[in-house]
């Protein structure tokens, strides 16, 4: 090893056996269910909440399915909008744009209008350097049991959009399913997601090697649990564990009020049968992912509560964190049910569930953005500085790992071998990725920017993250 050798003595923390062979668990005492407005959590450090849209007497009164994206220096936020009721025939897909980092937003614009014999709902985003792609879920009156299909629109400037076109499977056929709103792009470029396929709403994970998500989707091998016109598993999201295992977390429509989970070790081609975890959930949509240093996160409504009127109350909204993706042992409050935080419902309507509904997350420019609908009549987000979430020392590789940085040359010695090296800039963008199957390897970081970066070294036993300075 070269000069300036840094020896990192790292011990893998003991983890208790997980019930039902669940791929992850929460630590004992993480939530205090007796405090229904906060679950006993402190607010996320440095958190800020911004309103993108709020219903007034002169606007639509319904908003849900709030999803954000970043593209060419601007932020975008989409949601489904209707005059009064959920999934009404007048439902269309609205979006707003911010050019100042999300502090101010345009008035709602049309991403996709409603259709004559049904309606359109938000399906999320993907972007490349040159294209912003918005996905749209279409439900028509001739499709039974609330089924539908997926279309997309695209733009090169975030203002001018193409006509909606069908998203297609690998065989060229139409994607006959409702697209879940947060497709994830893996390190090698593969995009994983999920759809609720016809007839009805039957969940299946899907994947494509088209970075735009417009074509080439394939169904993963997953055995859902039948629940009549729906599957028991619904509305999934994804994160990765330190050994790159994919975890799919799902809503349990059968009503256990705990999150379900399944795993894949082959980048989404095959999945285990779902099992119940001990992560409490209000039976609502959730979101998950990984921070730039590899920390897994899961955002949901962990309380099973009703308000004083006896209605379901999606409060609070929380963020749980796990160093290894196996034990979530830190959690923060994003939004509460306390009177100084939670607004009263302003307008009545069908399925106007109270609280903070259907969160989705975006990691961008040094922040974690969590967007959601408040009382299904306002589009809002809460953002947290990444450096406030990743400040805790990481100690996850068993044994001894060594690395040496000499200028832009990096040497790594890991007894376990099969190492993955990632370097991220301060905004959270990955600037370097490499895999070595040797115990000792050398890498050139010439493509990384000068200044402070995050170095992540991971093996099958875990991962470490350290700040480095490149000149």
Q: How far apart are CA 456 and CA 223, in angstroms?
A: 34
pLDDT for 305 equals 74
Contacts of 344 (CB under 8 A, 6+ apart): none
Examine residue 347 and state whether it is found in any structural domain, yes or no. Answer: yes
Asked if residue 316 has a cis previous peptide bond (ω within 30° of 0), the answer is: yes
> Quick check: 381 and 49 in contact, CB under 8 A?
yes
CATH number for position 463: 2.60.40.3080
Residues of the chain with pLDDT under 70: 1-20, 307-310, 391-401, 416-417
pLDDT for 394 equals 40
Last residue of a domain, one of 357, 389, 421: 389
Q: How far apart are CA 208 and CA 174, in angstroms?
A: 14
Q: Is 455 found in the same domain as 328?
A: no
Examine residue 283 and state whether it is found in any structural domain, yes or no. Answer: yes
Examine residue 23 and state whether it is found in any structural domain, yes or no. Answer: no
Q: Is 228 found in the same domain as 364?
A: yes
Examine residue 140 and state whether it is found in any structural domain, yes or no. Answer: yes
Q: Which of 150, 109, 117 is nearest to 133 (CA)?
A: 150
Q: Is 435 found in the same domain as 293?
A: no
**DSSP annotation of 43:** B
pLDDT in tens, 389-431: 875 444 334 445 577 787 888 888 777 667 888 998 877 888 9
Last residue of a domain, one of 368, 389, 410: 389
Q: Which of 323, 445, 440, 469 is nearest to 391 (CA)?
A: 323
Examine residue 433 and state whether it is found in any structural domain, yes or no. Answer: yes
Q: Is 243 found in the same domain as 110?
A: yes
pLDDT for 16 equals 32
Last residue of a domain, one of 367, 389, 411: 389
Examine residue 271 and state whether it is found in any structural domain, yes or no. Answer: yes
pLDDT for 13 equals 27
Examine residue 1 and state whether it is found in any structural domain, yes or no. Answer: no
Q: Is 418 found in the same domain as 322?
A: no
Classify 387 as helix, strand or coil.
Answer: helix
Number of domains in the chain: 2
Q: Is 316 found in the same domain as 231?
A: yes
pLDDT for 413 equals 78
- In this structure, is the dihedral angle defined by the CA atoms of residues 384, 66, 188 and 461, taken in order, positive or negative? positive
Q: Is 430 found in the same domain as 329?
A: no
Tokens of 252: 């349990």
pLDDT for 362 equals 98
pLDDT in tens, 285-301: 999 999 998 999 999 99
pLDDT for 300 equals 98
Q: How far apart are CA 106 and CA 243, in angstroms?
A: 42
pLDDT for 2 equals 34
Q: Is 341 found in the same domain as 229?
A: yes
Q: Is 313 found in the same domain as 235?
A: yes
> Quick check: 249 and 237 in contact, CB under 8 A?
yes
Q: Which of 56, 136, 91 is nearest to 350 (CA)?
A: 91
Residue 294: give the domain boundaries. 31-389
Q: Is 50 found in the same domain as 168?
A: yes
Examine residue 226 and state whether it is found in any structural domain, yes or no. Answer: yes
pLDDT for 307 equals 65
HSE-up of 219 (CA within 13 Å, CB side)? 16
CATH number for position 316: 2.120.10.10
Q: How far apart are CA 359 and CA 180, in angstroms?
A: 12
Q: Is 332 found in the same domain as 450?
A: no
Q: Is 434 found in the same domain as 340?
A: no
């Amino acid at each position: 090893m070269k000069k300036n050798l840094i020896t990192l003595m790292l011990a893998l923390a003991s983890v208790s056996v997980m019930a039902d062979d669940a791929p992850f668990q929460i630590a004992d005492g993480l939530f205090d269910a007796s405090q229904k407005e906060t679950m006993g959590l402190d607010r996320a450090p440095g958190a800020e909440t911004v309103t993108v849209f709020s219903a007034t007497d002169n606007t639509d009164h319904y908003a849900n399915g709030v999803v954000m994206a970043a593209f060419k220096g601007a932020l975008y936020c989409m949601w489904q909008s209707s005059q009064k009721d959920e999934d009404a025939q007048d439902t269309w897909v609205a979006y707003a744009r911010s050019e100042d980092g999300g502090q101010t937003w345009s008035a709602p614009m049309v991403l996709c209008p409603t259709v004559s014999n049904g309606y359109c709902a938000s399906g999320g985003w993907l972007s490349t350097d040159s294209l912003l792609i918005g996905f749209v879920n279409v439900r028509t009156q001739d499709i039974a049991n609330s089924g539908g299909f997926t279309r997309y629109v695209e733009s090169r400037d975030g203002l001018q959009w193409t006509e909606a076109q069908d998203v297609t499977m690998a065989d060229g056929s139409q994607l006959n399913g409702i697209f879940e709103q947060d497709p994830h792009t893996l390190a090698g470029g593969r995009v994983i997601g999920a759809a609720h396929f016809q007839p009805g709403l039957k969940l299946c994970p899907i994947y494509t090697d088209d970075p735009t998500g417009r074509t080439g989707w394939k169904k993963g091998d997953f055995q859902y649990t039948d629940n009549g016109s729906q599957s028991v598993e619904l509305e999934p999201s994804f994160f990765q564990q330190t050994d790159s295992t994919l975890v799919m977390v799902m809503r349990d429509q059968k009503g256990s009020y705990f999150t379900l989970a399944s795993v894949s070790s082959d980048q989404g081609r095959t999945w285990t049968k779902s099992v119940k975890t001990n992560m409490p959930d209000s039976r609502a949509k959730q979101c998950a992912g990984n921070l730039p240093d590899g920390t897994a996160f899961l955002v949901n409504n962990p309380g099973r509560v009703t308000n004083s009127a006896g209605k379901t109350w999606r409060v609070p909204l929380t963020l749980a964190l796990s160093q290894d993706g196996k034990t979530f042992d830190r959690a923060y409050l994003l939004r509460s049910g306390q009177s100084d935080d939670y607004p009263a419902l302003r307008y009545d309507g069908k399925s106007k569930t109270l609280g903070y509904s259907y969160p989705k997350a975006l990691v961008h420019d040094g922040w974690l953005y969590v967007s959601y609908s408040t009382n299904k009549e306002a589009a809002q987000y809460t953002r947290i500085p990444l450096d406030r979430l990743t400040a805790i020392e990481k100690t996850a590789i068993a044994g001894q790992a060594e690395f040496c940085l000499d200028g832009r040359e990096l040497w790594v010695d890991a007894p376990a071998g099969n190492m993955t090296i990632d370097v991220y800039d301060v905004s959270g963008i990955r600037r370097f990725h490499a895999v070595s199957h040797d115990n000792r390897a050398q890498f050139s970081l010439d493509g990384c920017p000068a200044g402070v970066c995050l170095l992540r070294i991971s093996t099958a036993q875990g991962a470490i993250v350290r700040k480095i300075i490149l000149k």
